[in-house]
Chains A and B, each alone.
Chain A
Amino acid sequence: MVSPLMAIVIAVAFVVGACAPSLGKPGGSTSGGVVTIEHWDWWVTQGPTIDNEIKLFEAAHPNIKIKKTTQVVDKYPELLQLAMKGESAPDVFLIADKPDLIDQVRQGWLLPLNQWATPEWQKQFPTASFAEGANVFGGKVYTAPFDGPAPWLQLYLNTKLFREAGLVDATGNIRAPKTWDDVRELGRTITQKGGGKYYGFGFGNKQKFILPWQLMMVQNSGAPGGSSGYDARTGGYTWASNPAYQEWIEFFMGMKNDGSIVPNAMSMDDEMARAAFADGKFAMLIGGVWIQGGWQKTHPDFKDYTLVQLPYRGTQQDSYFYRGPGGKGFGISAKTKHPNEAWLWFEWLNSKAAAERWVKAGQGIRAFPEVNKPEYAPTPQFKAFMELAQGDIRLGPAPELLHPEMTQVKTQQTLPDIQAILEGVYTGQITDYKTALKDLEARQNAALQRAIAEAQARGVKLDPAWWRVADWDLARDYTTAVASDQR
């Protein structure tokens, strides 16, 4: 006989399996005059700030309730896509990074906001915040820029190690590196001083995007496409034809051969590298503003650090970080049953008052220049970031705004990509990096040409010459692209 217990388990399984309740229908709903707005984002560290906004908003609008769902970040695009298939779409949601915004609009996921986002409303944002082809399509507005323009990577310095190595100038400040040569020399000095206890430079390559972050040092060195390798001036990839890439590899491998890079850089992940930096295992680390918030959690007593812009090659800065016009943030679902209430929440999130609270919480800078006041910064390092953000970024060309057909061109991946090649070079599996770069350049340009040809074959009217922006001066804002700005 099967034991009674087994029988019970099986019986329970049947009963539960057959009639497990269909709980919690998502999607906005109304009950007792109170409208519930479904809100989706993927923000974990920013969660408390959003929760506070919800509290304030609900107090101001007693008839609206916000139901927030914080989704798993790397599954977000997929979940959003699935939700859009049925009746489960959230009313207000953070727009996913993939696919391109224009493709999300083509799929009919987003509600046009023009009836509320009037030119009057748009005016509170700075110039070029709404641009046809970027976040406005066919004259319809779908979102508003959330974050403010800033270089997304900086070089962090552990000031305690700098001081220990005696790298201090006459005024008592640490000798912050400006150029690649500075980085190499300072790294060597610190490593010698460390004697195996600490090193000059570090990174954590386990996630497959960290070596390209290091390569971002070319961004200010005359390679305006940074780690993408793309250069709008030629309309193609320039891994070999722009010497900055090859010279960076020589510089970085030089630093490795000096022994200045922490030995387990390849097997750490970025998070471990950040912790190791705060623990004084190495003195220089590339990262974004988010790592400051991370340290507040993991190393609340860690204050001995500062940040500078990414170092450049040679003696002067040849290029900058670039941004396009427009920008995105939240959107409203085309399927929402409560567009007016959804808009009220959208408007709240994009208000200057909420933006100011966001900045004061140190979550990042926002699209409104007037709320990005250095005196709002909760820490000296966040203040340093805000000051750096103001000078180090330019408006870049965005030909796809003039020729929206360009977004129909879908370039396919070709391996080995730059990440893999850099790994191979770093570990010594690739010795002839010049040929590898040349090969990558040829493959990626061919992939782009093939994608253009395929789009043309599908009947998309395209001119390959659109990709080339010959009149781009790397030192200035490229304003031609904003010609079609709504205002």
Chain B
Amino acid sequence: MAQLSTAFDITRTILPTLPFRLGRAIRQYGWSYAFVLPMLALVGLFVVYPLIASIHITLYDWNGIGKPTRFVGLRHFATVARDPLFWNAFKNTFLYAAVLVPIQLTLALALALVMNQPRLLGSTFYRAIYFSPVVTSAALVGVVFSLLIGSVGQDVNTMLTEQGLLSRPIDLLGDPRFALPVVIAVGIWHTLGYNLVYFLAALQSIPRDLYEAAEVDGAGALGRFIHVTIPMLREVGLIILFLAILGSLQVFDLVLVMTGGGPYYASEVVSTYIYHFAFTPASIQAESNIGYASAAAFFMGVLVIGLTAGQLLAVRLIRQRNSGR
């Protein structure tokens, strides 16, 4: 994450000398600015502005209708920070990411290495297959698995109860012990295709002559993997890792359609926790509170930033100490 960590010493390097450098910078790096400008303009207008324009609603009780008027200050943040249900969702979210990311990335990399073999027959065919869950919407995935678990589960249950191995039939997604593990398993399955394709693209950027050279030096398959593939994948691999972690910390659709966060919060993740406040079902005699939901979402964002920054800082300190010695 070296690329990204650079962000954290912005203040040290840039701000003090800004006015002096600006003119020369634009002359020297004119094309660079021209190339980032479209991105910055669009993001600034359609991402940053709405974010800033809506941040104040975290300070209100607001049901989403009209202008927010019921100001509550920072109370929502205090409430979130003290809500055991939030921390339960937080724990589940990290569990989801901690189990899913390593398994999914290892599996994706292994499959990518196999499929990257020019001699493998039908690799196009396999790529399409492993990619196919990604094109199936989360809503349909939810229905497929509910029906699957409903009918296959029933057969397995009947068999197990007849064998005396089970006293009562198990309802996988309705059982607090199994709900989250099942959701994680489906999550690994559902989005593996993305990482597979990223890894494939990355593997193809590695020049073949590096492998050739390694082979001439007498490196075996494992040696080539360790000394050529891994170093060459480092940059893009870190970004894939970063995106996979962020993506799984924001998991939403899949949990919502498979368990809705239940039973009794057993598979609740932060995004479904937030959703429950933003969209209170009509059957409940209470207000939706988009102010609270926004505050919780913001709190989670800051928490994750804090954890990431802390981790990067720790890594840097360790490195400095090691190099200082």
Binding site for B on A (CB under 8 A): 78, 81, 97-99, 103, 106-107, 196, 205-209, 212, 227-228, 230, 259, 263-269, 272, 276, 410-417, 419-421, 423-424, 426-430, 447, 454, 458
Contacts and interface: CB of A to CB of B under 8 A. Distances in A.
Given A269-B146, A272-B150, A429 B264 contact: yes
B285 A206 contact: no
Contacts of A413: 276-277, 280, 284, 286-289
Contacts of A276: 150
Contacts of A269: 143, 146
Contacts of B265: 416, 420
B64 interface: yes
B283 A427 contact: no
Interface string B218-238: 000000000000000000000
Contact of A264 (B61, B70, B154, B262): B154
Contact of B264 (A196, A227, A410, A430): A430
Interface of B is mostly: loop
A98 B172 contact: no
Interface stretch (B115-123, B173-181, B199-207): B173-181
27 contacts: A81-B64, A98-B282, A99-B65, A103-B66, A206-B146, A206-B259, A206-B260, A209-B281, A227-B283, A228-B283, A263-B170, A265-B171, A266-B262, A267-B149, A267-B172, A267-B174, A268-B150, A272-B147, A410-B287, A412-B289, A413-B284, A415-B83, A420-B264, A423-B264, A428-B176, A429-B266, A454-B70
Nearest to B292: A412
Contacts of A420: 262, 264-265
A428 to B, nearest CB: 8
Given A208-B260, A264-B149, A267-B150, A411 B286 contact: yes
Interface in B76-109: 83, 85
A97 B281 CA distance: 11
Nearest to B265: A420
A205 B65 contact: no
Nearest to A414: B286
B133 interface: no
Contact of A265 (B83, B158, B174): B174
A417 B265 CA distance: 11
Contacts of B158: 196
A427 B70 contact: no
Contacts of B277: 413
A99 B63 CA distance: 8
A264 B276 CA distance: 24
Interface in B258-301: 259-260, 262-266, 276-277, 280-289, 292
B149 A78 contact: no
B171 A263 contact: yes
A415 B85 contact: yes
A72 to B, nearest CB: 12
A415 B173 CA distance: 21
Contacts of A99: 63, 65
B157 interface: yes
B169 A427 contact: no
B157 to A, nearest CB: 6
Contacts of A228: 283-285
A78 B83 CA distance: 28
Given A265-B174, A266-B174, A411-B285, 11 more contacts: A81-B64, A98-B288, A209-B283, A263-B170, A267-B259, A276-B150, A410-B63, A416-B265, A417-B284, A423-B264, A428-B176
Q: Which of B175, B281, B283 has the most CB of A within 10 A?
A: B283
A412 B174 contact: no
Contacts of A423: 262-264
Contacts of B70: 410, 454, 458
